[in-house]
Amino acid sequence: VGVVVVLRIIWGIIGTRHARFINFTYSPKEILQHLRNMRHGHERHYDGHNPAGSAMVFLLLGGIGLQAILGWLLTTHTFHENALIETVHPISGNALLIAAILHVIGVIISSKLTKQNLAKAMITGQKTKKRQE
């Protein structure tokens, strides 16, 4: 899992336009405004990640990376019975599960609001262009 996180970080630096972190970094204010707009049934079209999706990318990558490091530390001689790590590791795992559920819910809601299949776009890397109305 740690290797996958490292590969995604590399891809976030050198990858395609919409995969690069620099192209989907939003301020906390922009993320909150986007979530407010979603709550009211309005969502702007983004060619790449929207602000909520961007936040989730960073949250999941950081959380999974943390889990990988903590899990590895628990296998080492120095930390294998460390109470703090043994406490944080399952809490972090549960937080990741909640984040993944929220991510799926967000994808469903955003797909309905934008009338796009975002789950498919996450797999293929291709998002349909928004039709002019």
Q: What is the pTM of this model?
A: 0.83
At residue 110, the pLDDT reads 87
Tokens 């972090």 locate to: 92
- Distance, in Å, from the CA atom of 127 to the CA atom of 118, rounded to the nearest integer, reads 7
At residue 85, the pLDDT reads 94
At residue 44, the pLDDT reads 82
What six digits make up the tokens of 5? 């996180």
- Exposed / middle / buried, residue 91 (Cβ in 10 Å: 0-12, 13-18, 19+): exposed
At residue 132, the pLDDT reads 45
> What are the per-10-residue average pLDDT scores of the chain (133 residues)?
95 92 94 92 84 94 95 90 93 96 91 86 76 47
For the chain, the domains span: 2-124
